[in-house]
Amino acid sequence: MIAIVYIGEVRYSDVSKHNHELFLKVLGEKYDYKIYDFTHSNRSWSVENLCSEQAQILDMHYALTSIDEKVVIKLRTDVWICSNEINNIVSYVDEIVNKKIDFAYIGTNLQFNNQDKVSVLFKDNDYARFIHDLIVIFKAAKANNVETLLRELPNQEQYRLNQGWWLFAKTKCLCKLINADVYLIRDELIDPTDNNIVNAWFDFALSYNQNNQQIFEELMQLKKSVAR
C-alpha cells in the first residue's frame, strides 16, 4: 500500500484533479494506495515561529504519525505531471518499494542536457543542500525525527531552497535528484493541457526573472527546447 500525502495550501486543485487522477490510475495498476489530506486547512498543530519550509517538514512529520504505509508520495495540489512523465514517476516508486533507493526528489527539469536528468546522491551528513521537492517519494522508515531535527538544526537558513527536504532524510540514505516534466500550475485554466500548463509556467518564470538577464535568456532557450 502506498500513501499519497497532500500537504501545503490548496491551490489549483480543480485544474490538477484530472491530471492527478491519470497518474493515480497508472500507479493503481501496480499498487494499492490511500490518499491523505494534510493540507493547511487540516492542520491541528502549531507552526508558529517556523519558516514556510520548516512548516512543510512539520506537516509531513504529523502526516507520518497518522499513517501506516511504508512508502509515501508527497504531493501538492498545484503540481502538474506531464503525460510523458507519469510512467517514469511510477518507476521511481518501484525503486523505493524494491529498496533500491530511499528517497526520490522530483522537480522541474531545468537542464539542457538529458544526461543530467538524474543524479544519485548518498546522504552521509546533515549539511543542507538544494534538492527538488515538487514530488517526494520515500520510505517512511528513512524519514528523520522532525522534532529533534528542528531542535538540533534550528537555523532557518538551512530550510530554504528546499534544503529542508534534504534534512528530512536520515543520514546513510541513497537518494535520487530527478529533473522531470513536472510544473507548478500558474493559471486557473479551464481546459488544462501539458502544453498550456508548461507555457503558463514559463511565462510566469520569465516575468519573475525579467530583470535578471542571464536567467531570463536561459529560460527563453529552455522554453524553446521543451516547446510542445
CATH value at residue 65: 3.90.550
pLDDT of residue 223: 73
Positions of the chain with pLDDT lower than 50, given as ranges: none
**Together in a domain, 10 and 112:** yes
Residues 217, 136 share a domain:
no
**Do 138 and 72 contact (CB within 8 A), yes or no?**
yes
Domain range for residue 205?
Answer: 188-225
**141 and 104, same structural domain?**
yes
In this structure, the answer to whether residues 114 and 202 fall within a common structural domain is: no
Question: Do residue 127 and residue 193 come from a single domain?
Answer: no
Same domain for 179 and 201?
A: no
Record the cell numbers describing residue 129, joined without a space: 543542500
Cβ–Cβ under 8 Å, residues 139 and 209: no
Q: What pLDDT sits at residue 10?
A: 96
pTM of the model: 0.93
pLDDT at 5: 98
pLDDT score at 140 = 97
> What pLDDT is recorded for position 56?
93
Give me the pLDDT at residue 227, please. Answer: 54
User: Which DSSP letter does residue 171 get?
Assistant: T
Grid cell of 96 as nine digits: 523505493
For the chain, the domain total comes to 2
Structure confidence at residue 225 (pLDDT): 67
Question: Do residue 151 and residue 194 come from a single domain?
Answer: no
Which residues on neighbouring strands pair with residue 119, listed in sequence order? 177
So what's the pLDDT on residue 112? 58
Query: How confident is the model at residue 113, as a pLDDT?
Result: 59
Q: Is there a single domain that holds both residue 96 and residue 199?
A: no
